[in-house]
Amino acid sequence: MAYWLMKSEPDELSINDLKKLGEARWDGVRNYQARNFLRAMAVGDQFFFYHSSCPEPGIAGIGKIIQAAYPDPTALDPESHYYDPKATPEKNAWSAIDVAHLETFSKVLKLDYLKQQTTLAEMPLVQKGSRLSVMPVTAEQWAAVLALR
């Protein structure tokens, strides 16, 4: 099993939304490196659910991958914010996955707090200039974050 971190704006999909829904499609990733990470995910992999672009950015809980990558249907939908006019049903460069809720943390592990942890110094999330919405997490980083909750 691999570990990941995936960012979502809480007004689009929050950890509480995922908890209520039970499962959801994770779509709208429009960065090639992040998309490649989505494609590398396997059913059963777990991820930290990170709230981004909000007053309290941070890790809010844990989810798991329940469906491996498939063509992102939002790329084909002209009404979608994630529409890609270059995408066709035959040639869609973008991927989506399905995820399920595993755990909501009692408190969000705020980014500033995570940056203070020496055990997380190598985690891409806390490094300057890291903007990816999907990134791998090592087993050691996973354990270090779990110890903080």
Name the token pair of 69. Answer: 């990558």
In angstroms, the CA 111 to CA 105 distance is 14
**Does the pTM of the predicted model rise above 0.85?**
yes
* CA-closest candidate to residue 120, choices 28, 33, 3: 3
Is 130 within 8 Å of 34 (Cβ atoms)? no
pLDDT, tens only, 99-132: 999 999 999 999 999 999 999 999 999 998 878 9
CATH no., domain 3-146: 3.10.590.10
User: Could you tell me which residues are beta bridge partners of residue 71?
Assistant: 95
Tokens of 131: 């903007």
Q: What is the pLDDT of residues 26-41, one digit of tens each?
A: 999 999 999 999 999 9
